Amino acid sequence: MHKIIERIELAKEIIQIKVEAPQIAQKAKPGQFVAVVLDERGERVPLTIADWDKDSITLIFQKVGFTTQKLADLKPGDFIAHILGPLGHPTKVDNFGTVVCIGGGVGIAEVYPVSRAFKEAGNRVLGIIGSRTKDLIILESRMKSVCDELFVTTDDGTYGKKGLVVDVLRGLLDVVEKSTHTKYPELVYAIGPVLMMKAVADLTREYKIRTIVSVNPIMVDATGMCGSCRCTVEGKTVFGCVDGPDFDAHTLDFDELLKRTKLFKTQEQKADGKKPS
Ligand SMILES: Cc1cc2nc3c(=O)[nH]c(=O)nc-3n(C[C@H](O)[C@H](O)[C@H](O)COP(=O)(O)OP(=O)(O)OC[C@H]3O[C@@H](n4cnc5c(N)ncnc54)[C@H](O)[C@@H]3O)c2cc1C
Ligand code: FES
């Protein structure tokens, strides 16, 4: 049993909870996730470890369906039955030079610990975060504290620059192209909706900039047994939960990933009390 010690509503539908989990906290590394099981009959929901200290981990999640809604209803003092982790390979962090870290939507919470690790490793970190609208921008000050420069975008222009995160990246790469004294980033790291990560990958492929994305396929067991998180990288089958979640964006099959995230739509709508569409 894991006690919730803090609950903060960061934005509309985005909740941050701090949960007692000393064994996980002491092993956690940037890029890893946990599988949360709310009660004995609950499904396993993968959530990135957004932060940690000696005894607790911080999870930041968007209410999108049955389990995240139930998790959002829990208060400080309530318990989560099981938390498995840390799961997945940590992000490979080294001193690469300049690293661009991109987070879209709730992916901002996921890119934060990775950006911090790149900064601690001595990189120049350029952060780009974006959401649909102003009210959904989260962790701006935390991201600022670990980035040399931070760019904020909203689709509707209500905050930061109007447009998509990939537009900012394109602008940065254009500047380098026209300049004689700046150079391209050594690495781009992106987490967010599949279409956002695909757009980033398509752009950086043109410039031959190494790009890593953290994938978010549907996971059932999160231990490599069920195959539901199957992805294709370099033409080979890999499992997001045990081989990932980080993969090379230029050889990942994004179209397949997009198709597979809709695999359980009918069951999810049923669990959520909605009529299947
Ligand atoms: C490695 C990993 C780390 C993740 N980290 C976070 C995180 O830190 N914060 C966060 O908010 N979410 C994160 N997710 C996504 C999160 O696991 C899903 O939002 C959650 O499982 C939805 O469960 P649910 O029962 O509330 O909704 P469901 O009823 O299961 O689904 C509701 C809607 O969300 C979509 N959905 C379900 N699972 C996923 C998924 N894995 N990716 C994208 N869409 C999905 C469904 O297609 C459906 O449209 C992560 C996913 C993975 C694989
Ligand atoms: S979630 Fe079952 S193999 Fe990855």
Q: What is the pLDDT of residue 269?
A: 58
pLDDT tens for each residue of 238-255 = 999 999 999 999 999 999
In a domain, 269, yes or no: no
My answer on whether 204 and 107 are in the same domain is yes
pLDDT tens for each residue of 73-113 = 999 999 999 999 999 999 999 999 999 999 999 999 999 99
My answer on whether 105 and 195 are in the same domain is yes
Q: What is the 221 CA–ligand 1 centroid distance (Å)?
A: 14
Q: What is the 219 CA–ligand 1 centroid distance (Å)?
A: 9
My answer on whether 28 and 61 are in the same domain is yes
Final residue before a domain boundary, out of 173, 188, 214: 214
pLDDT tens for each residue of 13-47 = 999 999 999 999 999 999 999 999 999 888 999 99
In a domain, 103, yes or no: yes
Q: What is the pLDDT of residue 266?
A: 60
My answer on whether 206 and 114 are in the same domain is yes
Q: What is the pLDDT of residue 265?
A: 62
Q: What is the pLDDT of residue 111?
A: 97
My answer on whether 6 and 68 are in the same domain is yes
Q: In this prediction, what percent of the chain has a pLDDT beyond 70?
A: 95
Q: What is the 108 CA–ligand 2 centroid distance (Å)?
A: 24
Distance separating alpha carbons of residues 228 and 68, to the nearest angstrom: 19
Q: Is the pLDDT of residue 174 over 80?
A: yes
Final residue before a domain boundary, out of 191, 214, 237: 214
Phi, psi of 230 (to 5 degrees): -60, 135
Query: Which of the four pLDDT bands, split at 50, 70 and 90, describes residue 268?
Result: low
My answer on whether 59 and 108 are in the same domain is no
My answer on whether 111 and 187 are in the same domain is yes
Query: Which of the four pLDDT bands, split at 50, 70 and 90, describes residue 272?
Result: low
Query: Which of the four pLDDT bands, split at 50, 70 and 90, describes residue 175?
Result: confident
Domain of residue 51 covers 2-87
pLDDT tens for each residue of 57-77 = 999 999 999 999 999 999 999
Q: Is pTM beyond 0.95 here? A: no
Q: Which residue has the tokens 């047994």?
A: 225
| Ligand 2 neighbour 258 (Cβ under 6 A) | no
Q: Is the pLDDT of residue 274 over 70?
A: no
Final residue before a domain boundary, out of 87, 116, 140: 87
In a domain, 240, yes or no: no
Q: Is the pLDDT of residue 277 over 60?
A: no
CATH of the domain at 9: 2.40.30.10
Q: Is the pLDDT of residue 182 over 90?
A: no
My answer on whether 107 and 192 are in the same domain is yes
CA dihedral of residues 157, 162, 164, 170 (deg, nearest 10):
-170
My answer on whether 114 and 204 are in the same domain is yes
Q: Is the pLDDT of residue 52 over 90?
A: yes
Distance separating alpha carbons of residues 145 and 139, to the nearest angstrom: 10
My answer on whether 139 and 210 are in the same domain is yes
**Total domains present in the chain:** 2
CATH of the domain at 122: 3.40.50.80
pLDDT tens for each residue of 220-239 = 999 999 999 999 999 999 99
In a domain, 33, yes or no: yes
In a domain, 153, yes or no: yes
In a domain, 176, yes or no: yes
Q: What is the pLDDT of residue 273?
A: 60
Q: Which atom of ligand 1 is nearest to 71's Cα?
A: 26
My answer on whether 82 and 173 are in the same domain is no
Q: What is the pLDDT of residue 12?
A: 87
Handedness of CA 222, 90, 110, 102 (dihedral sign): negative
Q: What is the 64 CA–ligand 1 centroid distance (Å)?
A: 7
My answer on whether 206 and 106 are in the same domain is yes
Half-sphere exposure of 195 (CA within 13 A, CB side): 3
| Ligand 1 neighbour 167 (Cβ under 6 A) | no
Q: What is the pLDDT of residue 152?
A: 97
In a domain, 196, yes or no: yes
In a domain, 253, yes or no: no
Q: What is the pLDDT of residue 262?
A: 74
Ligand nearest the Cα of residue 64 is 1
Contact between residue 43 and residue 37 where contact means Cβ atoms under 8 Å apart? yes
